[in-house]
Amino acid sequence: MPQLNRPRARFRALLATACCAVLGAGLLAGAGTAAADQSAGAAKATTAEADAKAGSRVVGYFTEWGVYDRNYHVKNIETSGSANKLTHINYAFGNVQGGKCTMGDAYAATDKAYTAGQSVDGVADTWDQPLRGNFNQLRKLKKKHPNLKVLWSFGGWTWSGGFTQAAQNPAAFAQSCYDLVENSKWADVFDGIDIDWEYPNACGLTCDTSGRAAYKNLMSAVRAKFGSKNLVTAAIPADAAAGGKIDAADYAGAAQYVDWYNPMTYDYFGAWEAKGPTAPHSPLSSYTGIPKPEWNSQSTIAKLKGLGIPSDKLLLGIGFYGRGWTGVTQKAPGGTATGPAAGKYEQGIDDYKELKTKCPANGTVGGTAYAHCGTNWWSYDTPATIGGKMNYKNQQGLGGTFFWELSGDTANGELIKAIN
C-alpha cells in the first residue's frame, strides 16, 4: 500500500520525513541457542501464553524521537493511565546498518537526563549513573507495572533499507540484534525484539529484491538466537491485493518463528495522492466508492488467515492519528482535493488529540470516522469507531490490538480506553 508519509516509521517531526510483531512460535527455539542465552531470557518473558491471553494483547508504540518536539516522555504513559491498559510497548526504532542492528538516537535512549518532575518515579537522574534516557525511564515504568513487557523495534519506514544486507547473512544479523538488545546495561529493560521491515522483496522508502524466502530465513535466525524465553514479533504489510506486498514474502512460512504479527491496517489511503479522491486511511471494511476494494482491515485479516496464519497470532492495527486533504468541497468520501491538509508537525497528518477539537468527526464510513470542516477533509478513528473495531477483533478471535502511537492520544488516554 502507498505509505510514503506514514507516521510509524518516520522520524517525522525530528529526524526526517519518513515510519509489528509476528506470530508466535515461541515453542520453536533454535537448537543453536546457547545456554547462557536461555538463562538470560528465563528471568523475563516466558511464552506468549504467559504474556497475555489471546485477544487481550494491547501493544503501543513509543517513539524515541517523541521526547523532542512532541515533548512526550515515558512518564506520560503513566500519567495518562495508558500503562495500566498496555500489555506491551514497542520502542521505536533501532536502526539497521551494515546488516546489523544498531542504535537509533543514543542520546534519547540512554543519556538524556530527567529531573525529578520529569521522571516516572519522581527521582532525578544523577550525572554518574550508568543508564539514563528512555531506557532508564522504561525500567522505572516496568517496576511500577511488573506485567508490562517492552520490545525494541528495528527498522521502520526510514531505516528498513539495511534489511537487504541483513538478509544476506541472517545469523550475523540476529547475533548483532541479540548483542544490542541484551546489552548488560539494559538487558532487564527489554523482553524481546520487534522486526519492522518495510518491505521484504517489495518497495517502501527503498526497494528490496532479496527474494520471497528472505523474510522467513531472517525470522528463523532471529528466533534461533533469541530463543523461546524472549518475544519475537513483527510488523507486516496490509496490502491484500493479488500480487501485493503480502504476496511478496513468505509470511505464512515465517509464522512458526514469531509470537505474533502486527498487520499495519492503516495508511491504506492518504494525501500522498494530492488530489484525492478522499478516503479514510484506516477503513475496517469496504464501502461503495472505496478507491481500492481490497484496501481495508477485513480484507487484510481474511487474506492472512487464508494463508494459514492463526487468528490469535494476528493483531488488529489502529492509528492514533488522522490523514487529511484540503481544498475539498464534498463532505462524503470520494471528493477531490488540492493537496494535503496542514498538520501540527507535517502536512497531511495530525494526531487524534489535535483533530478531535480542530476538526471533529461528523460522519462514518467503512467502520471509521471522517470530518469535513471548511475545505479540509480528515479521517481518523474515534472511541466509538474503535469500539466497533474491537467487536470485529473479538468476533474474529484475533490475538489483540496494536497502535501507532502513544503520543497521538489525549492526555487522559481516550483511545486506549476504547481499546480496553
List active site positions.
Answer: 198
What is the grid cell recorded at 200? 521484504
Q: For 311, how many CA atoms within 13 A lie in the half-sphere containing its CB?
A: 12
Q: For 205, how many CA atoms within 13 A lie in the half-sphere containing its CB?
A: 23
The residue assigned the cell 482535493 is 337
Are 352 and 381 in contact by the 8 Å Cβ rule? The answer is yes
Helix, strand and coil in the chain, % to nearest 5: 30, 20, 50
Give backbone dihedrals phi and psi of 148, rounded to 5 degrees, phi first: -75, 130
Cα 122 to Cα 247: distance, rounded to the nearest angstrom:
49
At residue 224's C-alpha, the angle toward residues 405 and 300, to 5°, is: 40
**Which residue, among 115, 139, 137, 135, has the nearest Cα to 127 in the 3D structure?**
115
Residues present in the chain in total = 420
**Which residue, among 292, 300, 303, 297, has the nearest Cα to 381 in the 3D structure?**
297
Query: Residue 47 CB: number of other CB atoms within 10 A?
Result: 13
Amino acid residing at 307: L
Q: Residue 2 has what DSSP assignment?
A: -
At residue 398's C-alpha, the angle toward residues 149 and 408, to 5°, is: 55
**Which residue, among 86, 32, 35, 92, has the nearest Cα to 59 in the 3D structure?**
86
Counts for the chain of helices (H) and strands (E), in that order: 16, 15
